[in-house]
Amino acid sequence: MEALVLGSTRVGDSIWNHLYDLPTIHELQLGNCSLTYINITVMGRLRRLQHLDLSRNNLSKIFNYTFINHVNLVTLLLSHNEISYIESHAFQGLRLINKLDLTGNQLKTLHPLTLNFMPDTTMLNISYNQLNHFPDLHNLTKLFVLDLRHNRISKLDKKSFVGLSNLAGINLSWNILTALRRNVFQNSPNLELLQVSNNDIELIEGGAFKNMSKLKWLLLKHNNIRNMAYIFTNLLSLLQLDLGYNKIDGPIHAGHFYNSFALQQIILNNNHVTSIVGSAFSKFQHLEIVDLKYNNISSLQPYNIKFSPLTIPPPVFYFRGNRFNCDCHLTWMRQCLNRWTDSCKGLEIDEFEFLLCYSGYKIRKFSLIKNAKLENMLCEFENPCVGICDCCGSLSCNCKMSCPTDCTCLMSYNHQNGIVDCSNKHINSVTENIPTIAETFYLDGNNLVYIKSAIFSGLHQLKTLYLNRSGIEMVQPNAFVNLTKLENLYLNENSLTCVDVELLNGLVSLKFLQLEHNSIVFIADDSFKGITNLEVLRLAYNKLVSLPYGFADSMVTLKYLTLSNNPWSCDCDDLHDFKELTYELADVINDRHDMYCFVNNTKNESFAIGSKQHVVGLDYWSICPNQSVIFQNRTIEKHRQVLNYIEVQVLTCTLVIIVLFIIIFTLVFMNRTLIQVVIYNKFGIRLFSVKPEENKMYDAFVSYSHKDEGFVVRELVQRLENKDGYKLCVHFRDFPIGACIADTIIRSVEDSSRTIMIVSNNYLDSEWCQYEFQTAHHSVLRDKSQKIILILMEEIDPAKLDPELKLYMKTKTYLKRTDPWFWEKLEFALPVKAKNKIEDQQLNDLNKIHIELKDEENRLDIQQNVF
């Protein structure tokens, strides 16, 4: 008998009596058999034993010389017992032992000699014990994998790894290590996997991983590491660095990973990282993942996540759970989330559309970045004078942009859209220089009382001015004369008593004027002269009795007017003009049904002096009899027609139907190509399809400048070949080395169903690109086909265009790279994919996957052994 399998039979210690007469057995499995001891006498007779499984029993001690005669034993499994003590010579004689498993026992200490009688051991597992020290392993020179996780080891030093020069993987997770000292692993230069997660490590000294040129996986998550400077450098083979769930703070920069450029995964989630300095990841050609979730990053720029152009596919960045401040520095991100921009090309950010704002000017906390209003994404002033104007030292200098005391000054990323917020600061005079880039100025809730002339001079960009609730009693003439771009002026809730001729001088762009809740009793004639763009005027809650002559005539562009809660006069002279105004401006007076006038004198005794009358419902002739007057609504009179109501309805419906038909037909005709693209993309049907084309070697020949090769390699080839199954002819791969370029171009065009031309300024500067167009163009003329597909990458200089190319672009449709339907239109323009080509591509893809899976299995051998 060579093997005896009694696992999980629970035969008990009596089994030893039956094993005495089996000296030739090679494999003995006694796992989970309720054994309480090892019979040394019986074991002494089983000298040919190679594999012994004593796991999951009730063994408590291993005595000296238990295995003295087992020179052939290769595997010894003692896991999940109750072993608390192993004598110093217990394993003596195990010269050929390859694997020893002591997992899940109660070992607290091991004698220095215990494990040093097994020179051929390659795998040693002492995990899930209570070891309080690193065991002495100096004689295990062939040890390859060591598992010491879930113990109570608190210290490592240089002597710990003496003799372990072949060690490739070690698992020390779930111990109580507090530090990794300099050169601690110097005796294990072949180490590839180091797992030290879930310890209490606070300090990693510089040089702790010195000369570990073969280290590939370094796992340090769930520790208390704060600093990573000069620690993870010169690790030439490092693929994965996991520092998640630590206390690393401050910025991340390229120096942290200097000369460790083989990195594929950098994991720093759940730390306190505040920012990324420069292009920290631009030199990692094999980068796949950068995980920075749940840190304290508040701002980000495209160059911070720039990666090497040789990195294909692009790495994925993880930023969820960071505390982004949605100011002007994140404008690019907001634009990326809502429309394609150059700064977004190639970026792969996980859950990009779900990133949140934690702060920002008038931006709600935890709102999505993509929903933030661009006009609210502002920054506080950061020396904006530089590069904008020639600044002088005097406060009188118009370009001086210092912020007034106690105020908040904000601006957009390009130093535009400035906001100066001085609300509720108890300011009683505007004396300090105000930044000239201000477009919005908040001065509400102050104690200004008196607004001086030309106090806002120099604010040529100002569009909105808040002066409400500031106790203003008087505004000096020409106070706003220089505010030619002002569109919105708030003067409500003050103590103004009149609107004189010069109050609004210079406000040629004014659209909104708020004057409610003042004490205005008088508006001068021609007060609104020159205000030709006014759309909203609020005059409610004042003390107006009448409006100036010609008021309605100056309100040509008015769309909204409030006049209620004023003591309007019902006297005949005033009432005539006022009733005429309410008719003429009936369409824009928002509160006309809340307007009342007061009778001061009347020719009709039925109206008492001082009585209150509803303006709209008041009959003018009842107060002023024998008066001949016609009130006209300017809108009604302008559009009144003699046609009867039914005729108007019929004519209107007919016209609407005709117009709708014309609009629909025009839209369909103008967008016929897009409609065909959508139908083909969704259902695979080509409307107005042409005759089947002749099968050629390539679906398309790609003509491009070498300076645009990044787009071709990373995007075009990846999409059309790897995803859509087309076969392309491209310079860098399909042109034969040493052949005549001109002949190769001609042959490539003729062997391709289409010619895709990547047109850019670089393309137009290339003579070979021009030759490729000429060749394709002549082929089109000869075959009378639609072979050329132009892709316009950017705005191009018309002067560079070849006459034939210029003519072609005028007469033919071309694709723009920025078109949201770009890929669908490009696929529609390409020939119909042949079934056999697709099947071949799928077969190739399966072969690639098979090869990649094999490589992945080999790469993970060490990790599987440790875990």
CA distances 606 to 505, 579, 595, 614, 628, Å, are: 45, 20, 21, 15, 20
Give me the residue label for tokens 């007076």.
589
- pLDDT reported for residue 68: 92
812 token code pair: 């033919």
* Residues of the chain scoring pLDDT < 70: 1, 340-343, 382-401, 413-416, 431-433, 601-607, 626-648, 669-674, 676-694, 738, 767-768, 770-773, 776-786, 810-813, 833-867
Q: What is the torsional sign of CA 378, 383, 388, 394?
A: positive
| Measured CA distances, 653 to 642, 647, 665, 816 (Å) | 18, 10, 18, 40
Six token digits for residue 188: 């294990």
- Residue 770 phi/psi, 5-degree rounding, is -60, -40
Query: Distance of CA 635 to CAs 23, 285, 586, 594, 651, Å?
Result: 116, 70, 9, 21, 21
List all residues 6 or more positions away from 343 whose beta carbon is below 8 Å from its beta carbon.
Answer: 302, 332, 335, 336
Q: What pLDDT, on the 0 to 100 scale, is given for residue 692? A: 57
Longest C-alpha distance within the chain, in Å?
Answer: 141
Report how far Cα 491 is from the mean position of its chain's Cα atoms.
Answer: 42
Question: Distances from the Cα of 533 to the Cαs of 256, 460, 511, 529, 537, in angstroms?
Answer: 59, 18, 5, 11, 11
Q: Rounded to an integer, what distance in angstroms lies between the CA atom of residue 604 and that of residue 599? A: 11
Rg (alpha carbons) of the chain, rounded to whole number: 42
For the domain made up of 378-386+403-566, the CATH class stated in words is: alpha beta
Q: What residue type is 62 in one-letter code? A: I
DSSP state of 212: -
The 10s digit of each residue's pLDDT in 338-383 is 775 666 777 788 888 889 999 988 888 989 988 888 888 888 875 5
**pTM, whole model, 2 decimals?**
0.62
Q: Are 819 and 786 in contact (CB under 8 A)?
A: no
Taking a C-beta distance cutoff of 8 angstroms, is the pair 330, 356 a contact?
no
Residue 452 contacts by C-beta under 8 Å, 6 or more apart in sequence? 430, 476, 479
82 and 59 in contact (C-beta within 8 Å)?
yes
What is the Cα–Cα distance from 319 to 270, expressed in whole angstroms? 11
Residue 85 to residue 63: CA distance in whole angstroms: 8
Whether the Cβ atoms of residue 326 and residue 369 lie closer than 8 Å to each other: yes
Under 8 Å between Cβ of 590 and 620: no
How many CB atoms lie under 10 A from the CB of residue 854? 10
Q: How far apart are CA 79 and CA 125, in angstroms?
A: 9
Domain 693-833 CATH (choose: 3.40.50.300, 3.40.50.2300, 3.40.50.460, 3.40.50.10140): 3.40.50.10140
Q: Report the alpha-carbon distance of residue 544 to residue 463 in Å, rounded.
A: 28
CATH topology of domain 1-153: 3.80.10
Q: Among candidates 420, 427, 465, 473, which has minimal Cα distance to 446?
A: 427
- Report the C-alpha gap between 731 and 488 in whole angstroms: 59
Residue 761: the pLDDT is 83
CA distance 93 to 834: 69
What angle in degrees, to the nearest 10, is found between the helix axes of 767-783 and 741-750? 40
